[in-house]
Amino acid sequence: MIQLTEPQKQENQTYNHWQTHFQDRVVLVTGGSSGIGYGIAEKFVQAGAIVVVMGTNEERGWQAERALEKLAPDSHQRALFIHGDVTSSEDLERVITYIDERFGQLDVVVCSAGIGRKATLLETTLEDLDRLYRVNVQGAVMTVKTAAKLLQRSEGSVVLISSDAGILGESHAGAYSVTKAAVNMAGKMLALDLAVHGVRVNIVAPGDIAPGMRSMLNVGETVRPKDDYLSWSVPPVGRYGNAADVAGTVLFLASPEASFITGSILLVDGGMRAGFPTDITTAIPNERGIKHA
């Protein structure tokens, strides 16, 4: 039996509201062993869900499973790591079949597996472009496609993790921005396909999140290196985002409280994409020596 310390009990009590929606529900989180994906898995476990984490890094995956188990609100196993690659149709079939045979249901799928490359689109190699597409776009679509029949059985919910870069592109991550824009549209098309089967599909587009794509921390770490974010612009809300900010949004969209929401993109960026700053000259590097009026 897992022994919870008193502070953990108090923390878990704040999730009673979510437990009414997710107690004993089965959730698949791809890319759930680190970063935003782990934060999402963490919040689902605390809400009493059974969370299957799928990832390619076995060491990190087993570490995530052990850490998640310590957060369970009861003595039941709430976290399970399964090694698998979202670019492999065989791996996806194996994972979904395992979930069906062991649990007989799948209520929520969160597609959080993703990779990035720091390069303009013209600088991006064909190899990197192909890899980004296969993981970020094809991986998400094939995960939902493989899980579709099981999701229809429970009239479940899907949340795709995209990026604010897929809404307003970032030149230093050109191919990444393109693939995330594709994820946004893929989510809308999947929402149309699955609506008649009672399955909702929504997209969450995080901004600069730590831990996240731009700042990857190991499981259990909460502090990022100081020099990692000094160059980041501070969002209008006055702070940087964290994985819990994204996770709370995901739980809402996956819950019955969002039963009339499907095919939507929800930004979680602290207001960064709300508009240009008042003095745009302070926000755009003058790399070409252009004189501002």
Question: Quick one: which of 289, 222, 179, 262 has its CA closest to 42?
Answer: 222
Question: Quick one: which of 163, 152, 165, 254 has its CA closest to 202?
Answer: 254
**Residue showing tokens 């597609």:** 111
Domain spans, the chain:
6-282
Q: Does domain 6-282 have CATH number 3.40.718.10?
A: no
For residue 279, the model assigns a pLDDT of 53
Question: How many Å is the Cα radius of gyration of the chain?
Answer: 19
Q: Are 84 and 110 in contact (CB under 8 A)?
A: no
Distance, CA of 174 to CA of 184 (rounded, Å) = 16
For residue 219, the model assigns a pLDDT of 42
Active centre residues (catalytic): 176
For residue 211, the model assigns a pLDDT of 58
- At 56, which amino acid appears? T
Asked whether the whole model's pTM tops 0.75, one would answer: yes
For residue 213, the model assigns a pLDDT of 54
For residue 220, the model assigns a pLDDT of 46
Q: Are 190 and 202 in contact (CB under 8 A)?
A: no
3-state secondary structure of 169: coil
Residue 290 burial by Cβ neighbours in a 10 Å radius (0-12, 13-18, 19+): exposed
pLDDT tens digits in sequence order for the chain, 293 residues long: 333 333 344 444 444 688 889 999 999 999 999 999 999 999 999 999 999 999 999 999 999 999 999 998 887 889 999 999 999 999 999 999 999 999 999 999 999 999 998 899 999 999 999 999 999 999 999 999 999 999 999 999 999 999 999 998 888 889 999 999 999 999 999 999 999 999 999 999 998 887 555 444 444 444 544 545 545 677 777 777 889 999 999 999 999 999 999 999 999 988 777 776 555 445 555 555 544 44
Give the angle 242-248-253 at the CA atoms, nearest 5°.
135
For residue 185, the model assigns a pLDDT of 98
- Torsion sign, CA atoms 286, 289, 290, 293: positive
